[in-house]
Every structure is written in C-alpha cells, then in structure tokens.
C-alpha cells in the first residue's frame, strides 16, 4: 500500500488526535526520536558491526526500527505544522541543484 508523506502525516494526526494530549512536548519528541535512532544503530551494529547480540536478545527488524524513527519525525512535523512533502521537495531541489556535481557518477 503506497502512501504519500501527506497521507502518512494525516493518518498519524488522526490517530494522535484521539488523545487528550496528541503529541509529547517538542523536547520529549526529540528525546524519543534520539532513542529510536539508537535502536536503529543497535540493529545495524548487530547486523554489520562488532557488537554481538546477547544470548537472551532477539535481533529486531531494521525496517520496524526505521518506521519507529519515521513516526517520530512525522509527530515532530505534525506538531510543528510542517509539511514533509514540501520540505522533501526542497531537499530534492538541493540534491539536483547545489549538490548536483558533488559525487562521482557511474561511468
């Protein structure tokens, strides 16, 4: 099922709006995002790094952890009334403009 960033933001906002306090405070959301970033790093370290899983530990799904991180980004964006689609368009403009000659292309 494909969804646009706008749809993902709306879906998250509908879900969050059922609660008395839809979003954490901005700094708490940043802290939660940082925690999730650490969980992504942990999985990557278990997959590709030197840190091995504890015997009692199960390898978490990288996609699930990336989705957790995206959820945090969506919540921060919604709370700050930021359109991720518009921000993404500005990002792509940078990639094709400012950074266009930055990396070596395939031969």
What is the binding site for Mg ion (CB under 5 A)? Answer: 36, 39, 65, 68
Shortest distance, position 17 Cβ to Mg ion, whole Å: 23
Angle, in degrees to the nearest 10, between helices 5-16 and 62-79: 80
Q: Which is nearer to Mg ion, 39 or 79 (CB)?
A: 39
Shortest distance, position 12 Cβ to Mg ion, whole Å: 16
CA 76 to chain centre: 10
Shortest distance, position 65 Cβ to Mg ion, whole Å: 5
Shortest distance, position 99 Cβ to Mg ion, whole Å: 30
Q: Which is nearer to Mg ion, 36 or 78 (CB)?
A: 36
Which tokens sit at 89? 């368009």
Which tokens sit at 18? 């059922």
Q: Which is nearer to Mg ion, 68 or 79 (CB)?
A: 68
Tell me which residue of 104, 106, 40 sits closest to 68, measured CA to CA: 40
The Cα–Cα gap between 16 and 96 comes to: 35
Q: Which is nearer to Mg ion, 8 or 65 (CB)?
A: 65
């Amino acid at each position: 099922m494909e969804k646009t960033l706008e749809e993902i933001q709306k879906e998250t906002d509908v879900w969050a709006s059922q609660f008395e306090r839809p979003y954490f405070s901005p700094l708490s959301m940043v802290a939660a995002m940082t925690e999730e970033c650490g969980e992504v790093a942990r999985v990557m370290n278990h997959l590709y790094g030197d840190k091995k899983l504890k015997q009692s530990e199960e390898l978490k799904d990288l996609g699930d952890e990336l989705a957790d991180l995206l959820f945090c980004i969506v919540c921060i964006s919604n709370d700050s009334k930021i359109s991720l689609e518009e921000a993404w368009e500005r990002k792509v403009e940078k990639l094709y403009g400012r950074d266009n000659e930055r990396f070596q292309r395939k031969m």
